[in-house]
């Protein structure tokens, strides 16, 4: 495993749509392992493959607590349902030092594949739902800054 460089805002790759993963092999597994190590090293809760310069629909995330991991790998994820609304602060490893309040669904249900190609369904709320949406947006070339609420100054 290796820590990879995280692509920063301004790099045009972050605005490109990632391609579907077709091969579930050792090359994918190495990418996922490297992404996991990179995410933890950077102190993030999620990382999309595009953020390490790879245009594939792969995500790693861990929205758990320091004493309880909630690590997941999402290959070819897609949102299949959304409920409610949450407004929370968001940041991104590709935009260090930037944050803003976004509106995301309160509950999200996704389908995806695991590292071996098996289909899975996950339902999440709160931070995990926000992470699912944020990382899937990355796979579609969308940065969280496009979703930041523009509030009027009174």
Query: Is the Cα dihedral 29, 32, 38, 39 positive or negative?
Result: negative
**Catalytic residue of the set 22, 78, 135, 151:** 135
Count of other CB atoms within 10 angstroms of residue 49 = 26
Dihedral through CA 62, CA 27, CA 108, CA 63, nearest 10?
Answer: 0
Residue partners of 70: CB distance under 8 A and separation at least 6 = 62, 63, 64, 128
* Active-site annotation holds for 88: no
What are the start-end ranges of the H helices in the chain? 26-42, 126-139
Pairing between β-strand 86-91 and β-strand 58-62 as defined by DSSP bridges: unpaired
By annotation, the residues acting in catalysis are 135
């Amino acid at each position: 495993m290796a820590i990879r460089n995280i692509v920063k805002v301004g790099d045009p790759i972050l605005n490109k749509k990632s391609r579907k993963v077709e091969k579930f092999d050792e090359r994918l597994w190495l990418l996922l392992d490297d992404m996991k190590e990179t995410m933890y090293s950077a102190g993030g809760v999620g990382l999309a493959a595009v953020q390490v310069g790879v245009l594939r629909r792969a995500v790693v995330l861990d929205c758990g607590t320091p004493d309880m991991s909630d690590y997941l790998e999402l290959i070819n994820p897609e949102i299949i349902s959304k409920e409610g609304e949450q407004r929370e602060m968001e940041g991104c490893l590709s935009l260090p030092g930037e944050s803003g309040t976004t509106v995301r669904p309160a509950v999200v249900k996704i389908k995806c594949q695991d590292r071996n190609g098996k289909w899975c369904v996950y339902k999440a709320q709160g931070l995990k739902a926000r992470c699912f949406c944020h990382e899937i947006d990355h796979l579609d070339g969308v940065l969280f800054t496009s979703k930041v609420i523009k509030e009027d100054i009174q």
